[in-house]
Structures are given as C-alpha cells and as structure tokens.
Structure 1
C-alpha cells in the first residue's frame, strides 16, 4: 500500500538551522596540489603565456568567417597542438629593454580612442537587418536568422525570447503569454539544474505577498498543500527573513518540497503594481494584510498558476497557458485609459511599461534535431545569434567581415600623435597590427591571400566596401547583409587591450603541476573451478 506524502508541518519546520550536508571522505581531507613557479628573468613567463595565446588564436582563428572550419574539442588526454608561426612582437619589445608598463598604457589609450571612433561610425539596426545579424552569427544560417527576426517582430525589440528543446526535428517558433523581470532566486539551494544554475518548474503555483515574511509558521498552510498535492511553488514576496527561509530550503534539500523564493521586483508603489500584474497574469491574489487577507489564513485559491517558471540568479521568467488572456486584455485597456488621462510624463512612462509587460508576450524558439549532438550544436548557434541580435538592438551595427577593425587601424597613426612617449606609440603600433588580423584570417580561411585583400579594401575610401568571403568578391557589405553588432566589436577592442596589458605586465606565473595518474591494471580473472568428475560405472563412454 502506497504511503501518503508527509505533511510539511509534521517535519522539524521551526528549526532555523540548515542541516549539514554529508561530506565524502575525499572532501574531509583536502589534498594540496603542488605548484610550479615561472619568473620572467629568463623570459620563461613570456614564452609560456605566448604559447597559450598562440594556441587560443590558432583554434579560434580557423572558425572565423563564412568559410571557417569546425573545431573538435577534446575533453581529456592532452591539449591541442600549439602552432607558433607568427612573429612574437611582445617578446621582442621586452627583450629590447622597453618599459612594459608604458607599452601597456599606449595600448589602453589607443583602445579607448578607437572605442570613441567606433561609436561615431555605428548606426541603429533596421528591422530588415535583424535577420542578417542573426544569420551571420549562426554561421550564415538564414532559417535561424529569419526565425529570430520573426520572433522579435511579434514580441517587440525589447521583448522576451527564450530557447528550449523542441518536440520534432524542425525548429519552431511559439508565442505565449508571460513576463520576465530582473529578480533571481534568494538562495542557490533552490537550483534544480546544477549545470545551468537555474530553477525550472512546470505546472507550478505562485504565492504573491506584498510584505516581508518573518515567521515560517505563516506559510504552514500553503506549503502543506504543496507537499500533499505534489506541485512546485514559487514564493514572491517583498522579502523573506533567514528564519523563515531556512525551513523552506531544508525541506527542499530533503526532497519533501519543490519550492523557490524570489524577491518581488521594484520598490514601493511600483512593487505593488508589479505584484498586481503578476496576479492578473497568473490568476492569483496578492496577499495584503490591509485588504483583510493574511498569509496564515490564505488557502490554495489565492495562488497563481504558471505552465513554466525559470529562475536564474538575476532574472525570473513566468510563462502561462493563456487561460487568463481575457483578464489581461481588460487590465491593459484600463491602463491605456490611465495613460490618456495622465498628465505627468513619469506616470505615463510607468503605465506604458506595465502595458508592455502584460501585452508583450514571450517568444519561445523550439530547437529541433535528429540527434543529441546536433541539438546541442543548434542550441549554441541559436544562442549566439540571439545574443548578437540583442547586442545589435542595444548599440547598433557596423560593417562586418573584419572591415570595421581594418578601417579603425587607419586611425591609429593620428592617435599616436597624442601619446606621451615612444614606448606608448609602440603600444599603439601593436594594436594597429592586431586590428588587421581578423580580416586576414577570414581571407585565409576562404583560401585567399589576406595581404592582397587588406590592400584592396583599404584602397577604397567607401567604409561599406569590403571582401565577401562567402561569394569571393568585393562589394558593398551592408547591402550584402554582412554587418556586425557594434557592441561585439567594442567588447573585442576592450577585452583585447585588457588581455594584452595583463600579458605585458606579468612577471611571474604560478600554475598547478599536472600529476599523471597511473592507469589501473585490471585484476586477473579468478581461476575457473574444475567440475567434479562423474562417478564411473565401468562402461566406456559412447564416441561420436
């Protein structure tokens, strides 16, 4: 006979101390890993750092451009081969006795100046270009580009777009009702997916409380129902004291309760409006003492419902089944009337935000594939394309194909005139050489001489003119749909400068010594016992 689920109130719910997790024997006695030190007196630090930089550049470089090749990543048993086929500019500089701090400062100043120039040549992305940005980031896959563009067309440029595993072999776009806000889980103990560090519940309930929860006993009734009826519950409140949160965490860790807690978005009056909107969307009731509804007396009927809730450390996504669509439309109409009658700009802005939040919807990109390997690859490509699209909407776009960096390299000579000394100018020259590298690699991967491509592109003053590696021709890259998000290019400039500065000013390296574990020998097979011989009867056996 199946046992009935244990009520949460029957457990040790009032003890605020979390249980200690049992430690494995290996965790009880930590083993210190030996360290190896490299100092730069003999140039060993520079050589080892340079080897790492060359390895990463070689691996990433072969994937660049429309004709870039795939890289198979090995998880174990040795790193990829390191190829050192370029000149080591930084090694020559340090060997020449120059001040690496001044060289690094020159790199930093050049990067800052180029970021300012980049902002001047950036422009806002147009609707018809969103598909191009997404497709280029997805490896020139225009089926992905068009799907993302269609999703943003339906939910708006600032709408919520998520990615999940599909139920068939083809990609699919689904628009559902829901909302997203910038509040994450209150404790990592609530995480259900350790790899992604997210909480994900299906067919769950939401408890909405417009005040701080201080006493765990107030939640007895609500959490009791969740345990008995086996549904996940998300607590959304102004705040939850540690004494009230600890028992929820403990029972979640014991597997008795599926729960998570988040802080209500916004503050003051905006927080109350946010909770009201979540209640309308999920069909729940906001628990407020001043309205005569206390948390201790609240029942299951006060809870909202969601078909899916995804919580990260920074955000919460609520997806509903559309059953409250009529109520949502009614609330949107009321808010639109308030916008018309309001005279304050700030109040109109807040009301417009609430309308967008309720009526925007959520686009779900369902990724289809025939195998698990193909599914993982397609998910990563779509994630890259979606991130690139968001970046383009945020900061605009520039000409792609490495041509924007190439054009920026022509501005370095003018920047050098404003630097303090020759060592800083050498840092600027290093950055100038690096700016032409992406265009050269794209040409190389397409089987074309990179130096000739760079020379021909720079001979034309039109900033949109460049080399299209996919079609092996020179043309207007903007018309051809080869554009990059300005934010991506800006981050490349800033991060490259940051890494180069760290490289130049590093005088020692401390690394772990890798200990090769012996391969365990398989124990020999035990001898097979002999079967006991049958007693003889004096008659010889019959031969066949």
Structure 2
C-alpha cells in the first residue's frame, strides 16, 4: 500500500459522513469561518463600539461582550465552524485569565492566523514560524509590562471601568464606588437586586472560595455551616502528618474557650483531620487548599 504525505496539510474529521480537505482549500475555508465570526465581534471594540443583537429562543439580547457573541455563533459549514471554535477557545481563555479584553484578543487572533497562513502559503516552515511567534510574544509581554502602571484613584478606576461597562456612566460609577470602598484586593460579586434599584453594599471580612474538610466541623446543623466568633487563625505550609504536632494549639484554644481556624495546604491527612481530632470539633475547623 502506498502512503502519500502532503506538506502543510490539515485534515478535518467530524462525526457522521467524513469530509476531508487539504492544503490551501482547507486553510482558506478555516479562515473564512474565522472572518465571519470576527467581523461580527469586532464592531463592538472600543469605547465607541456598537452592539450586537442575539436571538435566543423566544427573546432577544442586545450585547457588546466579545466572548458571549463568539459563543453564540455556529456555522453550517463544518470546516468553517472549526475556525469559529478556534476563536471560541481564544475568547474563553482570555476571559477566564483576565476577565476582559476578549474582543481585542479575538481581533488580534484573526490577524495572527491570517498572517501565519499567508507565510505558510509562501512556503514558510510552520515549525520555524511557531518558534518565531513564541519568541516575539515573550518580547511583547516584556515591553507591555515595562509600559504598564498601577491604576490609582477613583478617576483612574472610572477610566478602566468605562470600557468594561460599555460606556455606561451609571455602571462605571458603581464599579468605582465599590472598588473605592473595598480596595483593590476586595472581591466584587454581582447579584440580582430584590428591588428595581441597582446599588452597592459592603460586607466586612474576607471571602475564601473553599469549604470545610468534613461535616464533622459543622456547628450549625440546620444551615450546615460553621459559625465562629473571635476566632484564632493558623495558616501553615507545613505537612501535618500526626495530630500530636498541633495538639498544644488545640489544647490552648480549648483552655481559652476560643475557636481555632486552621488553613492548610494539601499536605494533611484526611483521616488524621477527621478521626484523631474528634475531641476538638467544638473548638476548631479546618479548611484545605490545594495551593496557597
């Protein structure tokens, strides 16, 4: 049996009847799908960006969020749709890592792919091209870090928030108000209002998106929560392999009749934390982080 290898060939296989495309025809079809998506998303770019209307079941949405628009697009042509999925992944990655800038990332991704396909068509080596792109990215990231600066003050926050808020003055003022109250390290949560008004409320304390290690630590069984006041806190990176290592702390907390919150990483034995600390459950709880 004779095998043939084609340079710069991309093979697309999808469930059901197989469709196979090679070389330039395949690349052009992929780029066509990318262009169709980016042409829609790019109109929302910048402070003067326009809105896009999405039809969802029985309702319409007017929106200018890049990642949401991108995820709403699906093309009939299977290979064009592969190009759409490429851009989906770019938008989702940027959204999860940065929280914004998805439209900018989508526009840059299109141009990067377009330029890359052009030089490949002119017989450039794809591996060398990728290596050069990786080196360029490192240089660009370094330059951006050198030019970046920390946003300070209410006016600076408003300037950034105005872009994310779609140039809605009311919304960006709310964002600036919230950050001004809680500081740059605070956590902002968006919830449905119980009234027709949109407003900011501040909850004192720290929010940690982790849970207690066992139901044995629960102090309020009706709500299945742990409630402590005037708590002592121990944060440790050390591996806890034996309960004897922290018995003095537990005994001290018991003597003072004060709760103890222990925050540990993944270097703690589940069985030790549950079965050997039973006597102290009324006085402490334990939160486990995989990384901190």
TM-score, normalised via structure 2 length: 0.51
Is residue 83 of structure 2 the alignment partner of residue 57 of structure 1?
Answer: no
Residues 163 and 266 (structure 1), Cα distance of their counterparts in 2 relative to 1, 3 Å cut: farther
- Contact preservation (8 Å) 1:181, 1:265: no
Aligned to 1:69: 50
Number of the residue aligned with 1:40: 22
Aligned to 2:158: 131
TM superposition shift of 1:46: 0.8
Deviation at 1:104, TM superposition (A): 2.5
Return closer, same or farther for 1:37/1:138 CA change in 2, 3 Å cut-off: same
CA distance, structure 2, for counterparts of residue 292 and residue 102 of structure 1: 61
CA distance in 2, matches of 1:169, 1:39: 54
- Assess if the C-alpha contact under 8 Å between 1:135 and 1:143 holds in 2: no
Residues 112/40 of structure 1: CA separation in 2 closer, same or farther (3 Å cut): farther
Residues 183-217 of structure 1 show CA distances to partners (whole Å, capped at 9, x for unaligned) of 3587xxxxxxxxxxxxxxxxxxx9674xxxxxxxx
Taking structure 1 as the reference length, the TM-score comes to 0.30
**Structure 1 residue 303: deviation in Å?**
9.8
Distance in 2 (CA, whole Å) between partners of 1:69 and 1:162 is 27
Larger Rg: 1
In the alignment, structure 2 segments of 5+ residues that lack a partner are 1-13, 58-71, 81-110, 228-233, 239-245, 254-258, 263-272
Q: Structure 1: give runs of 5+ residues left out of the alignment.
A: 1-31, 187-205, 210-218, 237-263, 279-286, 305-312, 316-544
Displacement of 1:141 after TM fit?
1.7
| 2:176 aligned residue | 149
User: Residue 207 of structure 1 contacts residue 303 of structure 1 at CA under 8 Å; is this kept in 2?
Assistant: no
In 2, the alpha carbon distance for the partners of 1:78 and 1:292 equals 54
Indicate the RMSD between aligned Cα atoms, in angstroms. 4.7
Instruction: Give me the whole-angstrom Cα distance separating, in 2, the residues matched to 1:135 and 1:101.
Output: 41
2:129 is aligned with 1:96: no
Q: Which has the higher strand share?
A: 1
Q: What secondary structure does 1:136 align onto?
A: helix
The 8 Å contact of residues 165 and 171 in structure 2, kept in 1 or not, is answered as yes
Higher relative contact order (CA 8 A, sep 6+): 1
Which secondary structure state, in structure 2, belongs to the residue aligned with residue 58 of structure 1?
A: helix
Q: Is the 8 A contact 1:134 1:148 kept in 2?
A: yes
> Residue 137 and residue 294 in structure 1: after superposition, are their counterparts in 2 closer, same or farther (change >3 A)?
closer
Contact 1:208–1:235 under 8 Å retained in 2? no
How far apart are the structure 2 equivalents of 1:290 and 1:101?
Answer: 56
Q: CA deviation at 1:130?
A: 0.9
1:208 and 1:292, CA in 2 relative to 1: closer, same or farther beyond 3 A?
Answer: closer
Deviation (angstroms), 1:132: 1.5
Q: Is the 8 A contact 1:183 1:265 kept in 2?
A: no
Alpha-carbon offset, residue 145 of structure 1: 1.8
CA distance in 2, matches of 1:132, 1:208: 48
Aligned residues: 194
* Alignment match, 2:208: 181
Q: Is the CA contact (8 Å cut-off) linking 1:134 and 1:145 kept in structure 2? A: yes
The alpha-carbon deviation at position 147 of structure 1 amounts to 1.6
Displacement over 6 Å in runs of 4+ = 287-292
Could you tell me how far apart the structure 2 residues matched to 1:78 and 1:116 are? 34
